[in-house]
Amino acid sequence: MHSASGSSCAKIILIGEHAVVYGQPAIALPVKAIKLTATIIVNPRKQQMIDSKFYQGPLQAAAATDFAGIADLIAALLAYFHAEQAGFTLRIVSALPPERGMGSSAATATAVVRAFYAAFDTALTQRTLLQWTARSEKAIHGNPSGLDAATTSADTPLWFTKTTPIVPIVFPTNGSLVIADTGIMGQTKEAVQAVATRRAQDPATVDAQIKAIGQAVALAKAALLADDLPALGAQLTKAQVQLRALGVSNAQLDHLIQAAMAAGALGAKLTGSGLGGCMIALADSAAQAQQIRLALQAAGAAATWQYDFSTGGH
Ligand code: PMV
């Protein structure tokens, strides 16, 4: 084992969250400008230390913390490489806000797996990477679709379903997304569980809502291919109607969505699990995106980002 690093980036679900857990498609994009890096620095004193904003201290003491899922992943990687006794400091530097629907846990797992494979000079296929990240995502989120890990490790926007191969999807060259953070921790596990509970109580209604999201995703794909931003915006707004009905939006998300629409957005919705976290708004130009950003800041967004389709989010 030698010192090495691995990286990943934030992700945004354009459309399809929650329904994707029940087999519907989703469209998601890696946001390359918001990066996460995991660096392994070999430590001759045989200690295993974590240095991150999520957790700082010995690996062995992380089991009872929020870092437990990643700590378990690291222990499994060490066992896989027969390096249980190796000494190292693992430093994680992340520009992603945690628990905001930007895939922070999946991005962390992706960068950590990449760093360990690099430290052991071992080639890593995308398939093996996703097997590893599924392990920590399951521990952290309960029943993950795998979408987060697929996107935080991807180079292009993706068409994703749980059961079919992941397909890159081409985005228009005009238009921008504005991403705004409510400043409230999203609650992926709780939100996914809330939908499951609602579905157990009223399967007909919830299945119809899930199907409606799936239809909006299919129409969003057609709009992307046709370079039709107003049609894409309309599908984002349609998905938001269903996400609200599923109970995963909240007052702050609704408030920011309204502010974006009032500022001229073509469509807006929550992104990720909801119950806090981030929302996205579609703008027909970078200039309009600037206007929407200002409106979202005035409406109380904790942070905003812009993803211009022309640059692929770089
Ligand atoms: O909140 P995030 O970024 O973890 O996104 C969760 C997306 C869901 O569709 C709600 C769950 C999943 O596993 O796909």
Could you tell me which residue, 266 or 156, shows the higher pLDDT? 266
Distances (CA, A) of 227 to 124, 131, 170, 174: 35, 34, 10, 8
Q: Which atom of ligand 1 is nearest to the CA of 248?
A: 10
Q: How confident is the model at residue 313 (pLDDT cuts 50, 70, 90)?
A: low
Across residues 18-45, what is the average pLDDT? 94
Nearest CA to ligand 1 atom 5: 272
Q: Which two tokens stand for residue 88?
A: 């190292």
Dihedral (CA of 60, 63, 67, 71) sign: positive
Contact 223, 235 (CB under 8 A): yes
**What does the alpha-carbon distance between residue 55 and residue 58 come to, in Å, rounded to a whole number?**
9
Site to substitute for ligand 1 among 11, 14, 141, most atoms within 8 A of C-beta: 141
pLDDT the model gives residue 143: 72
Residue 284 has pLDDT above 90, yes or no: yes
Q: Which two tokens stand for residue 140?
A: 């952290």
Mean pLDDT of the chain: 94
Number of H helices, E strands in the chain: 9, 11
Contact 107, 48 (CB under 8 A): no
pLDDT digits (tens, 9 = 90+) for 33-71: 899 999 999 998 889 999 999 899 999 999 889 899 999
pTM score of the predicted model: 0.89
Main-chain dihedrals φ then ψ at residue 295, nearest 5 degrees: -65, -40
Q: Which atom of ligand 1 is nearest to the CA of 186?
A: 1
Cα 81 to averaged position of ligand 1 atoms, centre (Å):
30
